[in-house]
Structure 1
């Protein structure tokens, strides 16, 4: 059954993405202001397919730690494509820090730019950090809520990697605290995984930490993640 569910979800999600990618041309040409609402709709539909077809229940705790409006910095664990979609539903004006090469994906890339995401060329070294801080200023001035994945790549559930320093630079530059978020999404929609698994997917939002010096802030984010992971239900 899980195989059939996975095949059905992947096919429908691909067709939906293709259809909405083509349907976005009028927005790209004439109505840039509709780009973010359109992206939110696409995310909502893909995740609705994921929940209904794959039998996944999404349980979110700590929503009280998110701002109702205004700027924010959110440091989320990153285990699956799910993490790059769900914040479109949870925040009023989300803005992801993303790999610069995503801009070059046909249909999707141009919409990412129009929605005001933050593409960063990570191979650019010190220039990438300057660009990150410049984009942070623009996003916060526009009252965007910035989502960054400090691990720098998708990781497996339970895997610990050294956090990238960008989030600390952003927090200290903007004089804003950071909201740590833990998840177990990789158990249900793994990295590059064709097959999906049913169950209870957790998103645990912790109280804000910092700003603080880089080492202390990264340690506080890690500690926040570990604390929130304790709330996850064990997987049978």
Structure 2
């Protein structure tokens, strides 16, 4: 009963705050990109505050040190927590790779494009791939990190999903070290109702650019499932 009450209060607080930030998104569309970055980081920080104070979930980060410069983060995806938390986790205006269908959502798609989200079309032609590469180079030159969910969808805790084919192409396009990240948000935030406890990020060793596809995918799959001991990877 208490967990259900906490979940309801979290929804009221988080989505209520999100509504006011959504209103700020409209003028931010016509301002320099810094305004949209502020909205995104504030939204993520508000989410983390609600998770910690209302749901009673601690967030801890363990593992290897992060690269000093820009990197591509490939993160396990167990719930919506890590998607919203990305700017807070990486402490900056991270550039997500997202399904192209999301970029076609009215208003959201326009705001995402202004922020710098890069749409990925798995059946795209050469022209679309070149446009994606230009966006990635521009964000890279600005010193921004990138993030993607290599399994392409949420995967329940304890399971290992299949890596999407676009992972290697993005790895080659960015030319950045790839940092695999395990996260176990499915144990707490991903439950219904949500449960108090701890969400743990486990940052893996950075994988240098230029590896062959098979080696990259093997290392990523093992690293992002490091908190799923029951998974066969």
Which TM-score applies when normalising by structure 2? 0.86
Distance in 2 of aligned mates of 1:173 and 1:39: 25
Provide the aligned C-alpha RMSD in A: 2.3
Specify the SS of the correspondent of 2:65.
Answer: helix
Aligned residues of 1:205 and 1:228 also touching (Cα < 8 A):
no
Q: Distance in 1 between matches of 2:137 and 2:42?
A: 27
**C-alpha distance in 2, partners of 1:103/1:171?**
21
Bigger CA drift: 109-118 or 220-229?
220-229
Structure 1: gaps spanning 5 or more residues: 231-236
Deviation at 1:155, TM superposition (A): 0.8
Q: Label 1:129 to 1:158 Cα distance change in 2 as closer, same or farther (>3 A).
A: farther
2:203 to 202, 205, 214: 205
Q: Is the 8 A contact 2:122 2:166 kept in 1?
A: no
Q: Structure 1 32/177 Cα, relative in aligned 2: closer, same or farther at 3 Å?
A: closer
Secondary structure of 1:201 counterpart? strand
Alignment correspondent of 2:193: 195
Counterparts in 2 of 1:72-151, with a 5 A limit? 72-89=71-88, 90-105=90-105, 107-124=107-124, 129-151=129-151
| Distance in 2, Cα, partners of 1:93 & 1:157 | 27
More helix by proportion, 1 or 2? 1
Q: What is the match of residue 214 of structure 2? A: 215
- Between the aligned partners of 1:86 and 1:148, the Cα distance in structure 2 is 13
Matches of 1:151 and 1:28, distance apart in 2: 31
Corresponding residue for residue 40 of structure 2: 39
Separation of aligned partners in 1, 2:66 and 2:32: 33
**Separation in 2 of the partners of 1:123 and 1:51?**
40
CA distance in 1, matches of 2:105, 2:192: 20
Contact 1:91 1:145 in 2 (8 A): no
Change (3 A) 1:226 1:22: closer
Equivalent residues of 2:181, 2:203 under 8 A apart: yes
Residue 226 and residue 24 in structure 1: after superposition, are their counterparts in 2 closer, same or farther (change >3 A)? Answer: closer
The equivalent of 1:9 in structure 2 is 10
Residues 175 and 168 (structure 1), Cα distance of their counterparts in 2 relative to 1, 3 Å cut: same
